């Protein structure tokens, strides 16, 4: 358990870890190349390590230089049938993208599993469209839950209309479509992060984008390439909120991904009165990268609509913390997807913030939060969820007393150095305390 002490300021500059979503996708596309994909600033989190381990188990060559922070992934002789079960551990992205990749490799057999948390998460949303393409997948609850067994086959393309906006499902179908017979089209109910499409274009693979539709075509080979992965906006989100709600803060987050499908939090915080600037914008691997400068802000409540949720789904826990410090009511709707993440994040954040004195009402698909609330010290549970743990650490910065977070080690899933960075930015001593 770790103790977070209140602070009045967050000052300085920071580089956040490489984007987790992009790192996963770079690894999977690298596994489909002969020459390889080489990237720097690969995510150091456990989730992306799970992806690399699964790809290595299928004969993929993975070279990591931790001193230079680079990873090279290639499959010079193609992917092979793994000798053991592929364990995605806690990573939903790893599991779902593996299902897409495996489904289209003829005659290859594999079993995909995960930890207890991942075994509870829904997989039917990706299994059903893959089966419609001709994949052979079976497992618990008729393919709804891990473990899942996959027998690769030659797939057929087609048009797939998603019922749930999910970049993971979209990417799994597109990966399968690259080896299918005929074009494969995915139609989304609302826009989701488009890193796969950007990366395919950067690698020279034909992609047709038309509004909410994206189409890929069969390809015999994917060219190799190298680039730097930008900083993860979802990691930057904790610092953006922390700087906004502490009284004397001025923070610059450098070389962070500002892809418009990821920065929904900025749009919402702008409505709430965020004082910020986007500086030094450039491109890296086809992705927009910039410095995000944030200053202390006087926030006011707002309403987050269901249409906005896909662009800030991972940032909603820390947005709930910001809402406790905003004047008036903040209402977040259409976020039911939070109930099937690493934890039930709607419930987890409601329980934790109430314990600190917040006026928060849990709804079926979000929260109604009344601010401006004085948060007290107390104890928070991570529920084994990295984003809950980091969000509650941010809450601890503006509480009236120390906030102790249980099972804080889960931050290593996406941001192993989070608490080190928190200490550096705040000059506040974090203490390990006994439970």
User: Which H or E element spans position 252?
Assistant: strand 250-257
Nearest to 136 by CA among 180, 92, 160, 106: 106
Strands (E), 328-397: 328-332, 359-363, 366-371, 378-381
Q: Are 338 and 316 in contact (CB under 8 A)?
A: yes
Q: How far apart are CA 420 and CA 274, in angstroms?
A: 26
Six token digits for residue 378: 């107390």
314 annotated active-site: yes
Gap between the Cα atoms of 197 and 184, Å rounded: 13
Beta bridge partners of 404: 3, 379
User: CA nearest 422: which of 255, 239, 286?
Assistant: 239
Q: Kindly name the residue from 47, 87, 232, 314 that is annotated as catalytic.
A: 314
Residue closest to 59 by CA, chosen among 39, 86, 40: 86
Name beta bridge partners: 228: 40
Strands (E), 17-142: 37-40, 61-65, 70-74, 86-87, 109-113, 136-139
Other C-beta atoms closer than 10 Å to the C-beta of 423 total 13
Q: Which of 208, 206, 233, 159 is nearest to 415 (CA)?
A: 233
- Residue 136 and residue 155: Cα distance in Å, rounded? 10
Rounded CA-CA distance 339/365 in Å is 8
The contacts found for 119-124 with CB under 8 angstroms, 24 or more apart, are 119/145, 119/146, 119/147, 120/145, 120/340, 121/92, 121/145, 121/146, 121/340, 121/341, 122/340, 123/95, 123/96, 123/99, 123/148
Rounded CA-CA distance 295/243 in Å is: 6
What residues act catalytically? 314
């Amino acid at each position: 358990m770790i103790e977070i002490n209140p602070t009045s300021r967050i000052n300085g500059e920071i580089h956040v870890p490489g984007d987790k979503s992009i790192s996963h996708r770079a690894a999977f596309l690298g596994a489909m190349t002969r020459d390889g994909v080489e990237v720097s600033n690969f995510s150091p989190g456990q989730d992306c390590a799970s992806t690399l381990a699964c790809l290595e188990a299928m004969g993929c060559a993975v070279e990591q230089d931790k001193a230079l922070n680079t990873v090279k992934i290639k499959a010079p002789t193609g992917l092979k049938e793994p000798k053991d079960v592929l364990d995605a551990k806690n990573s939903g992205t790893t599991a779902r993208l593996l299902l897409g990749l495996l489904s289209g490799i003829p005659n290859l057999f594999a079993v995909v599993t995960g930890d207890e948390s991942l075994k509870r998460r829904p997989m039917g949303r990706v299994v059903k469209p893959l089966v419609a393409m001709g994949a052979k997948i079976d497992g618990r609850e008729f393919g709804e839950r891990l473990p899942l067994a996959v027998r690769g086959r030659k797939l057929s393309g087609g048009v797939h209309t998603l019922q749930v906006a999910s970049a993971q499902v979209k990417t799994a179908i597109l990966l399968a479509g690259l080896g299918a017979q005929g074009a494969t089209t995915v139609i989304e109910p609302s826009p989701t992060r488009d890193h796969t499409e950007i990366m395919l274009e950067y690698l020279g693979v034909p992609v047709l984008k038309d509004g909410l539709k994206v189409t890929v075509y069969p390809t015999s080979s994917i060219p190799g390439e190298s680039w730097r992965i930008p900083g993860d906006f979802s990691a930057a989100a904790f610092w953006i909120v922390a700087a906004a709600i502490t009284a004397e803060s001025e923070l610059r987050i450098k070389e962070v991904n500002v892809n418009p499908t990821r920065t929904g939090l900025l749009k919402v915080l702008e409505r709430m009165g965020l004082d910020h600037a986007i500086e030094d914008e450039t491109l890296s691997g086809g992705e927009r990268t910039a410095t995000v400068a944030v200053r202390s802000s006087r926030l006011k409540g707002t309403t987050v609509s269901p249409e906005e949720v896909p662009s800030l789904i991972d940032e909603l826990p820390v947005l709930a913390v910001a809402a406790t410090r905003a004047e008036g009511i903040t209402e977040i709707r259409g976020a039911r997807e939070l109930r099937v993440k690493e934890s039930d994040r709607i419930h987890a954040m409601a329980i934790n913030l109430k314990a600190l004195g917040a006026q928060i009402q849990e709804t079926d698909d979000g929260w109604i939060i009344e601010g401006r609330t004085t948060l007290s010290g107390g104890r928070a549970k991570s529920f084994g969820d990295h984003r809950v743990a980091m969000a509650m650490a941010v809450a601890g910065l503006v509480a009236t007393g120390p906030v102790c977070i249980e099972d804080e080690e889960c931050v290593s899933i996406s941001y192993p150095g989070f608490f080190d960075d928190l200490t550096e930015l705040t000059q506040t001593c974090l203490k390990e305390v006994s439970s």
